Structure 1
Amino acid sequence: MPRNLRRLRPVVAVAAVALAAAAVATPVATASAKPGKHLVDVQLLSFNDFHGNLEAPSGSSGRLVTDHHIDPATGAPVDDTVDVGGVEYLASHLAEARKGHDRSLTVAAGDLIGASPLLSAAFHDEPSIEAMNQLGLDVTSVGNHEFDEGYKELQRIADGGCIDDGDGENNQNSCAAHEYAGADFDILAANVVEDATRKTILPSYAIKEVDGVKIGFIGMTLEGTPDIVTAEGIKGLSFKDEVKTANALVPKLKSKGVKAIVTLIHEGANLPKEKWTDPATGTVHEVNATYDYTCERGGELVPDSPIVPIAKNLDPEIDMLVTGHTHNPYVCDVPDPKGKSRLVTSASSFGRLYTETNLKYDLKKRDIVRSSVRGSNMLVTRDVAKAPAQTELINTYKELVTPIASRVLGTITADVTRTANASGESALGDLIADAQLADPSTVVNGEAPVIAFMNPGGIRADLTAANSPYGEAVGDVTYDEAFTVQPFNNFMVSLTMTGQDIYDLLTQQVTGANAGSHKILQVSEGFSYEISSSGPVEGSVMLNGEPIDKSASYRVVTNNFLQGGGDAFEAFTRGTDPYYGGLDIDAFSSYLESSSPYTPGALDRITGTH
């Protein structure tokens, strides 16, 4: 059980506020306004989807597109990229950006923790919250990943205290460096209600005051959070409509004298391809969009993006939206219900960007001058000095995590990647599914699963033979590398499904909520089928060479995210006799140890196109 679960903070009645969903009002350091000056400058710095990336992320996760050029060898356009991200650099950039701004606030839009690298996840993401404290975050909304370990754990993350977790016994260790003190910033969850009390699990809004400027922040996650997190993590909670929730809070804020309102919401937009003109030939190519293309340089949000109807229907009294979730960069105008311009921003992910928004605040009207609001996404380049406090924090936890992270599990003879073929199958997906099928923890009453299913979105990195973060031999796979592939700490679950359920499951990969963006489940050895644009080809679904019988029952294994219907795979919820085993990362680690050296095989489990 957590120790010191409710820490008293130096803000009046914060704990009571969290339960009653009232406002958190936190004055910050101020400078005096000049007498008679009614319009003053305010700076908002914002980011989202940090996901515990304390160290500079590597590979494509640590780059952004800045331009394009033609490859002379192929004649095709190629992305120009820059290495960005890392909390040491983010903190330095934010500190530099604040210079000359007497009225500055720093805010975020969720997923600051969860799906994190081992350096943060091994300590229940306490290091990431400490890093956010150091870089001066004032307020954030929750995101879906803040619920990865359940909402009680989220409340502990906010308020402080330690977990008695066996001192690293299960590769996690709370309060490893010191007593965890909690977040110095406000974490808001306006649309997350505990069913038993009908109160929000954390405050709904916060009011920040700086030198005569008073701004209210409403914080929410997406209403669809239950579809993309484990059912156990949100048991007993309801996730309310974003527009109705925020609009109902506007009069409450106005009654407290707050007319300037910003919504922090963990929902986002999809982006189009960029139409790039080759300066030498005038030929127009469709390319990956640069970080500032949408909407600063002509790009537009995809019209059916989830955030668009929300932005269009939020109360006109709300002055701007800071968004997230899709990991896309954009600074756009989505008019409010009265047709008035309103800024909507997102700063990519992993601390690679921050958004700087500058605006005028009318001290007489106590409101933001909407026409003055200007935002721009700024690269978190690595050509600045690292923030010393962040470096010290990283070094502390790197030393503490090394015994866990550096343990070699086994070897691979070649890279094992997430790259899918035309049918949607990947070598790494095959490896993980096989590991889940082999996991003995889900065998119950002597009955072992015969099919494993893995969601592709849960595979977060490749296994690269040449990667040697601890100086290990080429091909060696450490626990750190394995965890980076599967960072969610999901539980393995076995359950019984009918053959018809399995057909329906495979159909849901390309229909319904997944019709626009297909999600092809990775499957274990011995199971095969042919996929089409409407689902599995009739009669092609086979187990060990025999057709699946729709009226028969089969024991399958998956993670508890999918078992709860995550990613719109409703067919899993029809499964019976569920039995919970160990963690997915443990199954993966054990399989790597027992199957070493591992060589990826042919991608022949899924055929066809979709």
Structure 2
Amino acid sequence: MTRFRTARITPLVAALLVSACAAPQAQHQAAVPAAQAPIEIGVIAINDFHGALEPPKQTVDAPDGKGNEVSVPAGGAAWLASAVDALKAQHPENVVVAAGDLTSASQLASSLYLDEPSVGVMNRIGLEFNAVGNHEFDRGWQELKRLQDGGCAKNTRFEPCQLERFEGARYKYLAAATVMPDGSTLFPGTGLKTFGSGERKITIGFVGLSLKSIPTLVAPDRVAGLKFEDEAETINRAVPALKAAGADAVVVLIHQGLRTKGAGDPNGCNEAAGDIQPILDHLNPGVDVVVSGHTHWAYVCNYTGNAAAGPILLTSAGVYGKLVTDITLDFDPVTHKLVNRKAHNVIVQSEGYTSAKGPVTTTTAFPQFQPRADVSAYVKRYKDASLQLVERPVGHVSGPMEKESEGGVGAGGSLGALIADSQLAATRQYGAQIAFVNPFGIRTSLVPAADGTVTFGQIYAVTPFNNQVVTMTLTGAQIRATIEQGLDDSGDKQVLAPSEGMKIAFDMHRPSGSRVTAIALDGKPLDPAKRYRVSVVNFLAEGGDGFAGFKDGTERVNGPIDIEAFEDWLAAVPMRKVPAEDRTTQAK
């Protein structure tokens, strides 16, 4: 028996793609009286929206059913609202849910306003439950509480309520595994929603939770005083309580996920693996559906690796609102037993754009949504308010630079090299000899105008975290061990993007912990005993993304904010050349 099984698509003629079956369907069913027909509930799910108010100028690559893979321009809050509305129309009994990271690492029009407009968008879409993700802690748990409760308390260096008094989220944040010092959870851990009435009344229970590893993903002061408990144990405690409260089915919303391999298919589950797998393996019976996130991967699959718990329908809608998951749950009208569950990721096709590789156009192979007028107007208000800053030119670069990977390993490529160079230049005064950038912190590609112009909005989209650059002292041996931490088998793999003069060679065929084959600075191998001055953002300096070695750095000096260093580097010359050298090399 395989651990994951891909749900097969059953196309129907409709305004939008219908769900792929995640359970066997009969070839023909005789008509039954309405009172005896299954009770259908629609669960409409998203994750990792990341404040993508406007179309992110990215695609969803999907098979068109005719043997072709099509790149579909997707995303944007107003188009997402229309897609959700279309699914609500298909499911008169419905609930809209999310699996975290709706805010932070956001577009500038949202981030400048502390993601208040992203919350406003979700209120307008009709979101009801959201599991807290890791990025929702980026500004601290006190600011996250403000997003839930509303108000204008100032918890960051940015001003809240700049355009309007913030009312807070009308949806409920769920954080079952996030525990305060007094033993209570930061937010409620579970929720219930009842559909219908009388004998046809159905109740669905929801468990929402974050990753246990959040302390490694967020600056420590942002989560000070909080404890993050084991995910599976937390779910196993919550399910019986929900059942006792009348839940006929249980849906878990968790900010953890999978990655798949092979051809692009947002409804596939090919060679799926990820950190959610051991969580699923330790679940007790009672969980019917898991809505996941965090990896930014899209998939629909049946998880069959835990025989005791039975098959679990597992979904993710990718990232930036480019997809929305249509989940259908059918219940027996007499026993209220869940008799069928199916899901399909619907592409939120929006508008065409120009990428680093040329024009990306809309296609009739998938449904085309129109932007919902009220959400468009709401987004426009915040976009217009931020436009002067967004469109301000900051410099010129000689060509486009894309986010990259090397054989499944996250790599910074020329864009990572450019950012690393900017941080090195900004910290030379503190003795910096090397700078490193974590590729997972690079959020999008950088595509200049025809004359090379780059705007503040573009560079902010690339690196939106406002991290401080920290310079520290590490030995050559410590540097090597830290680079190894990004390539080991304990999590997602990325090779740190180094500044000019630094070369890293690695071989993923070698055992975990010994994959770095060579490191050189200015043409000389790094001396294990020599002390070097190294600059990284404070997220990495505190052990973020699993790079615990940076926590051992001594003689620390706090430098500029990363976005300011990047802007200064671009502005320093008339045309900044795209770094041409390959600074990281993976053995084939």
TM-score (norm 2): 0.83
Report the Cα distance in structure 1 between the residues aligned to 2:519 and 2:274, rounded to whole angstroms. 34
Partner of 1:557: 535
Give the drift of 1:604.
Answer: 4.5
Identity of aligned residues (%): 34
In 2, Cα distance between equivalents of 1:269 and 1:532: 24
Quote the offset at 1:340 in angstroms. 3.2
Using a 3 Å threshold, how does the CA distance of structure 1 residues 102 and 511 change in structure 2: closer, same or farther?
closer
Secondary structure at 1:474 match in 2: coil
**Aligned-residue CA RMSD (Å):** 2.8
Alignment of 1:419-438 (within 5 A): 419=404, 426-438=413-425
User: Which position in structure 2 is the counterpart of 1:377?
Assistant: 345
State the Cα distance separating 1:464 from its structure 2 match.
1.6
Aligned to 1:463: 446
Mapped to 2, the partners of 1:375 and 1:414 lie a distance apart of 41
Identify which of 478, 483, 491 aligns with 1:501: 478
Q: Aligned partners of 1:99, 1:56: CA distance in 2, in Å? A: 24
Q: Determine the C-alpha separation between the residues in 2 that align with 1:465 and 1:89.
A: 26
TM superposition shift of 1:420: 6.0
Which residue of structure 1 lines up, in the alignment, with residue 320 of structure 2?
350
Query: In structure 2, what residue type is equivalent to 1:493?
Result: V
Write the distance in 2 (CA, Å) between the matches of 1:421 and 1:603. Answer: 15
Decide which of 544, 552, 561 is 1:574's aligned counterpart: 552
- Aligned partners of 1:506 and 1:536 also within 8 Å: no
Deviates more, 1:395-404 or 1:226-235: 226-235
Quick check: 2:268–2:301 contact (8 Å CA) kept in 1? no
Name the residue aligned to 2:362. Answer: none
The 8 Å contact of residues 315 and 337 in structure 1, kept in 2 or not, is answered as: no
1:179 aligned residue (165, 179, 197): 165
| SS class of match (1:513) | coil
Q: Secondary structure at the residue paired with 1:233?
A: helix
CA contact (8 A) 1:66 1:82 kept: no
Deviation digits for residues 485-529 of structure 1, max 9, x if unmatched? 101222211222122211212333333425xx5411111123334
Q: Indicate conservation of the 8 Å contact 2:43/2:96, yes or no.
A: yes
CA gap of 1:410–1:293, structure 2 versus 1, over 3 A, is same
* SS state at 1:433 partner: helix
Q: Please, which of 397, 409, 416 is the counterpart of residue 382 of structure 2?
A: 397
Aligned-partner Cα distance in 2 for 1:80–1:604: 31
The answer to whether the Cα contact below 8 Å between 1:342 and 1:370 also exists between their aligned partners in 2 is no
Compared CA separation, residues 178 and 426, structure 1 to 2 (3 A) = same
The alpha-carbon distance between structure 1 residues 406 and 182, as it changes in their structure 2 partners (threshold 3 A), is: same
In structure 2, the CA distance between the partners of 1:68 and 1:562, relative to structure 1 (3 Å rule), is: farther
Tell me the amino acid that sits aligned with residue 124 of structure 1: L
Deviation at residue 207 of structure 1 after TM alignment: 1.7
Using a 3 Å threshold, how does the CA distance of structure 1 residues 309 and 301 change in structure 2: closer, same or farther?
Answer: farther
Partner SS, residue 494 of structure 2: coil
The residue number in structure 1 matching 2:372 is 387
Q: 1:192 to 1:582 in 2, by over 3 A?
A: farther
| Cα displacement (A) at 1:152 | 1.5
Pair 1:137-2:127 in alignment: yes
Counterpart-to-counterpart distance in 2, 1:35 and 1:574: 67
User: SS of the residue aligned with 2:288?
Assistant: strand
Whole-angstrom CA distance in 2 between matches of 1:386 and 1:581: 43
Amino acid of the residue matched to residue 503 of structure 2? Answer: S
User: Are 1:525 and 2:500 counterparts?
Assistant: yes
**Paired letter, 2:175:** A
Amino acid at match of 1:456: P
Counterpart in 1 of 2:84? 94
CA separation in 2, counterparts of 1:100 and 1:419? 39
Q: Please report how far the alpha carbon of residue 552 of structure 1 lies from its aligned counterpart in structure 2 after TM superposition.
A: 2.9
Superposition pairs for residues 76-115 of structure 1, below 5 Å? 79-99=69-89, 101-115=91-105
Q: 1:317 to 1:518 in 2, by over 3 A?
A: closer
Q: Retained in 1: the 8 A contact 2:107–2:461?
A: yes
What is the rounded CA distance, in whole Å, between the counterparts of 1:416 and 1:520 in structure 2? 17
Separation in structure 2 between the aligned mates of residue 271 and residue 485 of structure 1, nearest angstrom:
25
Whether contact under 8 Å (1:314, 1:337) holds in the other structure is no
2:316 is the alignment partner of 1:338: no
Moved more, 334-343 or 137-146: 334-343
Question: Structure 1 290/178 Cα, relative in aligned 2: closer, same or farther at 3 Å?
Answer: same
The alpha carbon displacement at 1:421 in A equals: 7.0
After TM superposition, give the deviation of residue 536 of structure 1 in Å. 7.2
* Structure 1 position 388, deviation (Å): 1.1
Whole-angstrom CA distance in 1 between matches of 2:153 and 2:457: 22
* Structure 2 partner of 1:197: 182
Size of the aligned set, in residue pairs, is 528
Distance 1:508 1:87, change over 3 A: same
Match of 1:206 among 170, 191, 207: 191
Evaluate the alpha carbon distance shift between residue 530 and residue 128 of structure 1 in structure 2; reply closer, same or farther with a 3 A threshold: same
**What letter corresponds to residue 568 of structure 2 in structure 1?**
S
Instruction: Give the whole-Å Cα distance in 1 for the aligned partners of 2:218 and 2:464.
Output: 13
Q: Does 1:597 align with 2:575?
A: yes
Gap change, CA 1:543 and 1:332, over 3 Å in 2: closer
Report if aligned partners of 2:328, 2:341 keep a CA contact under 8 Å in 1. Answer: yes
Tell me, in whole angstroms, the C-alpha distance in 1 between the residues paired with 2:291 and 2:440.
Answer: 24
Deviation at 1:476, TM superposition (A): 0.9
Report how far residue 246 of structure 1 moved. Answer: 0.9
Structure 2 CA distance, aligned partners of 1:421 and 1:380?
29
Aligned AA (1:176): Q
CA–CA separation in structure 1 for the residues paired with 2:268 and 2:446: 32
What is the CA-CA distance between 1:456 and the residue it aligns to? 1.0
Secondary structure, aligned partner of 2:417: helix
1:206 counterpart SS class: strand
Instruction: Show structure 2 runs of 5+ residues with no match.
Output: 1-32, 351-367
Deviation at 1:337, TM superposition (A): 4.5
- Partner SS for 1:410: strand
* Aligned: 1:44 with 2:43: yes
**Alpha carbons of 1:566 and 1:121: their partners in 2 closer, same or farther (altered >3 Å)?**
same
**Counterparts in 2 of 1:199 and 1:508: CA distance versus 1, 3 Å:** same
1:323 maps to 2:306: no
TM-superposition CA deviations, 1:7-62 (whole Å, max 9, x none): xxxxxxxxxxxxxxxxxxxxxxxxxxx9977953211111111111111121xx33
Give the 3-state SS of the residue equivalent to 1:480 in structure 2: helix
Say if 2:488 is the partner of 1:488: no
Q: Is the 8 A contact 1:312 1:334 kept in 2?
A: no
> Shift of the alpha carbon at 1:119?
1.7
* 1:260 alignment partner, one of 239, 249, 262: 249
Query: Structure 1 residues 374 and 511 mapped into 2: Cα distance closer, same or farther (>3 Å)?
Result: closer
Preserved contact between residue 498 and residue 553 of structure 1 (Cα < 8 Å)? yes
Q: What's the CA shift for 1:144?
A: 1.3
Question: What SS class does the counterpart of residue 97 from structure 1 fall into?
Answer: helix
Deviation (angstroms), 1:106: 0.7
In structure 2, relative to structure 1, the CA distance for the partners of 1:409 and 1:317 (3 Å cut) is same
User: How far is 1:454 from its partner?
Assistant: 0.6
User: Counterpart in 2 of 1:63?
Assistant: 60
Which residue does 1:310 correspond to in 2? 279
